[in-house]
Structure 1
Amino acid sequence: MEGTIIATPMGRPQRDNQPLLLLTITDISERKRAEERRLQLERQMQQTQKLESLGVLAGGIAHDFNNLLTIILGNTSLALDDLPPLSPAGESLLTIEKTSLRAAELCRQILAYSGKGRFVIDDIRLGNLVGDMFSLLQSSISKKATLNLNLKEPLPPLHGDPGQIRQVIMNLVTNASEAIGDRGGVITISTGLMQCSREYLCEPYLYENLAEGLYVWFEVSDTGTGMDQETQRRIFEPFFTTKFTGRGLGLSAVLGIVRGHKGALKVYSKPGKGTTVKVLFPALAEGKFSAEQGAAPKAGTWNWKGAGTILLVDDEESVRTLGTRMLERIGFKVLVAADGQEALDIYRKRRDEIALILLDLTMPQMDGEATLHELRRIDAKVRVAISSGYTEAEIAPQFAGKPLFGFLQKPYTLNALTQCLRDAMGDGEIPTEP
């Protein structure tokens, strides 16, 4: 019990002329616990606001940056398509394409911090995923660190993006290695399964009303320097780092990925005693595995040719110019519109010949969502594919109940555009000019 003692002299003395004291004891234990809970909620709210702020910033970066990368990648794809197979320029163009895709991946990593990164959903066996990464992890840690595995099998799968989960594991193992440094030590990766109560799930970092139930987990523990309470409170803040050359984005991305997978994260650490980071994901019940897999190119996609007319709507002139060249290369005739209103005017006049509308999401005056609404007032069966620098997961809530025929993530290559249009066309009849 914690409390305060107050001694108050009484007015009437005793027979021996000694004053009486009135002692009052107040138990403030519950008050202190309530204050600590309030402070914890305030810290969680501040962290949530930081995540949301960076999410808004990341979305803006994604839109503008991916438009630029679309021009680079698109023109590179067209140049590669024009070159003879043994052209000496081919290697240089492939390097440009590869580097541009790496730049796009960096943008997606920034989006991962906000929990809105685009996921390629699959059913993941944690043990298999960690085992496949073992050699890569060993080569990534300090030569004085020993990597041990403690994998419990069999475990039910989790539902998520294997690439994102690998990024979480790699970041945590890399941090553990840096905590060990040149002194030598042990890093252990463990997996397991546990039934999580609501009380247990209230404790993880950045609690967001997670559902109680069965969770698969992995943890990365090290025998490094450990962290004090102040450092632990800040490790997931954007750009906070204890390393001289660090950027402070690794653990921020980890937190965003875990949040995006509806998972939980716990940190246990003491100075001089090492650190353990435990990550929990909702377990997928056996027999309910998703058939949805990562998008793999369909056989024959790159030889596919289109027919009919595409209406390309984008407020960026350079994207319209490039898109026209790419669509014509695939075999389409192209109409272009610089904004939503112009797209509506064109569609009213030429709807019978337009096979599909490739519609940019972010435009001034009338954006893609409003344009789609008006297009469907003209024709409820209009074929529309959305193109955006934002991620598919991020725009999905805007189009709930409004089925689309496709989504094209910027930046995109000629092959990605071809596959999107092939999927969007399906087996339906393609309009042709009368």
Structure 2
Amino acid sequence: MLARGETVHGRVDELPFSERAVPQAKGMQRIALTPIFADTAWWGFLALGRTDASRVWSEMELEALRTAAEVFGAAIYRAEAEAERERIQLKLQAAQKLESLGVLAGGIAHDFNNLLTSILGNANLARMDLPPDSPAEYPLQQIEATTQRAAELCRQMLAYAGKGRFVVRTQDLNHLIKDIIQLLRVSLSKKASIDLELAPGLLQVVADAAQVRQIMMNLVLNASEAIGDRPGRIRITTGMIRPDSACFDDAVCAPEQPAAEYVFLRVQDDGCGMTAAVRARIFEPFFTTKFTGRGLGLSATLGIVRGHQGALKLESEPGQGTTFTLLLPRATEQPAEPEVPAPTAPAWQGKGNILVVDDEANVRHVAGRALETLGFTVTAAQDGREAVELFAANPAGFTAVLMDLTMPRLNGLEAFAQMRQIHPSVRVVLMSGYDAQASTASVTARGLAGFLSKPFELAKLREQMRALDDLPPQL
């Protein structure tokens, strides 16, 4: 291999046999060549050839050849650097676009969840006041059902924004797949079949089981749609990898701080595949290649992956099928036994005064009315600062505090911190339709008494307030 600036020249028939073919095919008898380097990387050779076998290259001609090779190398390096810069810029623009859409989706979902809390709560309360044979019973049931469907869309929007509430614990990925495989099979096109290739042993991840199942459902349904009306196969594979430095270079979504080991779920189909234009837009909300959209499926998948500090890779070409690869950090703990919630008697009644804190008047009203039906008295505050002032005036006068997480002046966590300084054993239940910080793990770590995800039904509120009886008494 020639070094930078070196030249070799002489008769073509003196070259190694494997290197003679091209110049001889061009009728060359004598040749001079020098390597081209793009920065420090060898790129190729630049050569001069003559049909005159007696031709001898002068030093000036060889120097010109070396100079031309340097010029070519610099131009190639600049072109490659510009192409790389454009690639990074496009990736950054795509990430910024997804981030902006995520902020918008999260904000809309938060505001809608406040509205849905009022609608669902008032419908619950109205049904409680009806006689069993009231003609209003069925319309109210429909209002509740429609509200729950709207709440599910909000949850998908929050998942897309990476702000969905995760109930995380150590899970076995293979076990989650086996739990949902029958549902997947009945949801697919009759022409599509599923092949499972699950790695032996436990593949532990710290994850929200419901969210991981949603990812599986989204990816498998996408594969089924790609297969369409013709016979096809969907292969679901699991395993474990130790990523190298280039593992996430082509990922659609990648963690900021990669873990040492990852558990992967790969969903591969032999369907129609995607063009580059479709791949560039496939994770946009409501984007579809069909006549009607499927909503936020793959968009929500991306948000869930981000929320779990995972990665997602996409490989697809027209006519060659599609492969999605989900990677989640491997956990070292054994999967926990599922918790079985204790049943709550519908007739349970509480007692005491509850401080209800929310910046939305309709939420304060419906939560207050619901608590009154459970036997409590209610004091209302419109933000965290007013709540702290009321609590400081009479800490022993409140059985518990039901408080929104996102409020002006003082948010729920800030207000809780100040209340705890006043009364260390204060019982605070946070409610929110927005923030991922209020996951079960965070609630426990911060010493909160519980969390309610908006919108919530009266039964959920009763269950949460009933759980306060099992806590140590306030001092």
- Judge same fold: TM > 0.5, yes or no: yes
- The one-letter code matched in structure 1 to 2:226 is A
Letter in 2 for 1:54: L
Q: CA deviation at 1:279?
A: 1.3
CA distance in 2 between counterparts of 1:316 and 1:188 reads: 48
How far has the Cα of 1:324 moved from its partner?
1.8
SS at 1:213 equivalent: coil
* Alignment-derived partner of residue 121 in structure 1: 168
Give the partner amino acid of 2:111. D
Equivalent residues of 1:201, 1:212 under 8 A apart: no
1:312-339 CA-to-partner distances (Å, cap 9, x unmatched) read: 1222222222222111111111112233
The answer to whether structure 1 residue 41 and structure 2 residue 91 are counterparts is no
- Aligned partners of 1:62 and 1:390 also within 8 Å: yes
Tell me the residue number matched to 2:386: 342
What aligned pairs does 1:351-390 form with structure 2 within 5 A after superposition? 351-390=395-434
Give the superposition deviation at 1:278: 1.4
The one-letter code of the counterpart of 2:335 is: F
What's 2:105 paired with?
A: 58
What are the equivalent positions in structure 2 for 1:309-320 lying under 5 Å apart?
A: 309-320=353-364
1:32/1:184 Cα in 2 relative to 1: closer, same or farther (>3 Å)?
A: farther
For the structure 1 residues 362 and 123, does the alpha-carbon distance in structure 2 shift closer, same or farther, using more than 3 Å as the test? closer
Counterpart-to-counterpart distance in 1, 2:438 and 2:397: 32
Query: Superposed, which structure 2 residues align to 1:286-325 within 5 Å?
Result: 287-290=333-336, 297-300=341-344, 302-325=346-369
Q: Is the 8 A contact 1:172 1:220 kept in 2?
A: yes
Are residues 1:195 and 2:239 paired? no
**2:213 is matched with which residue: 162, 166, 169?**
166
Q: CA separation in 1, counterparts of 2:360 and 2:286?
A: 32
Question: Per the alignment, do residues 41 and 346 of structure 1 end up closer, same or farther by CA in structure 2, a change over 3 Å counting?
Answer: same
- Trace 1:239-254 onto structure 2 (pairs within 5 A): 239-246=286-293, 249-254=296-301
8 Å Cα contact 2:357/2:384 also seen in 1: yes
AA aligned to 1:214 is: E
CA shift digits 1:282-336 (9 cap, x unpaired): 2222x54346x57x64223544322211111222222222222111111111112
Matched residue type, 1:127: N
CA distance in 2 between counterparts of 1:220 and 1:421 reads 42
Residue pair 2:357, 2:387 contacting (<8 A) in 1 also = yes
Residues 344 and 138 of structure 1: is their aligned pair in 2 closer, same or farther, counting only changes over 3 Å? Answer: closer
The structural deviation recorded for 1:118 is 1.0
Residue of structure 2 in register with 1:72 after alignment: 119
- Structure 2: runs of 5+ lacking an equivalent: 1-41, 49-54
Which of 263, 267, 288 aligns to 1:216? It is 263
**Aligned-partner Cα distance in 2 for 1:122–1:198:** 28
Give the Cα–Cα distance (whole angstroms) in 1 for the partners of residues 92 and 251 of structure 2.
14
Against the structure 1 CA distance between its residues 210 and 241, is the aligned structure 2 distance closer, same or farther, given a 3 Å change threshold?
A: farther
Deviations 1:46-94, CA, capped at 9 Å, x for gaps: 2332232223222322222111111121122223434456666545433
Does the Cα contact within 8 Å between 1:117 and 1:393 map onto a contact in 2? no
Change (3 A) 1:203 1:347: same
Matched-pair contact (CA < 8 Å) for 1:59–1:390: yes
Please report the TM-score for the alignment, with normalisation by the length of structure 2.
0.77
Say if 2:403 and 2:428, in contact at 8 Å, map to a contact too.
yes
Residue-pair matches, total: 421
Q: 1:68 to 1:241 in 2, by over 3 A?
A: same
Equivalent residue number for residue 283 of structure 1: 330
Give the secondary-structure state (helix, strand or coil) at the position aligned to 2:105. Answer: helix
Greater RCO, CA 8 A, separation 6+: 1
Q: Deviations over 1:208-267 (max 9, x none)?
A: 334343322221111122223343233223444333322563221111112222222222
Matched, 1:186 2:233: yes
> 1:15: how far off?
12
- Which shifted more, 320-329 or 123-132? 123-132
| Higher alpha-carbon Rg | 2
Structure 2 counterparts to residues 11-22 of structure 1, below 5 A: 22=64
Say which is worse superposed, 131-140 or 372-381, in terms of deviation. Answer: 372-381
Please tell me the residue identity of whatever aligns with 1:346.
Answer: L
List 4+ stretches of structure 1 deviating above 6 A: 3-7, 395-401
- CA-to-aligned-CA distance 1:153-183 (integer Å, 9 cap, x gap): 3332222122212221222122222222234
Once superposed, what is the RMSD of the aligned Cα atoms? 3.4
Instruction: Give the Cα–Cα distance (whole angstroms) in 1 for the partners of residues 176 and 383 of structure 2.
Output: 45
Aligned-partner Cα distance in 1 for 2:56–2:453: 92
Cα pair 1:198 1:212 within 8 Å, conserved = no
Q: Among the aligned pairs, what percent are the same residue?
A: 46
The equivalent residue for 2:454 is 410
Partner of 1:27: 73
User: How far does residue 117 in structure 1 lie from its aligned partner after superposition?
Assistant: 1.0
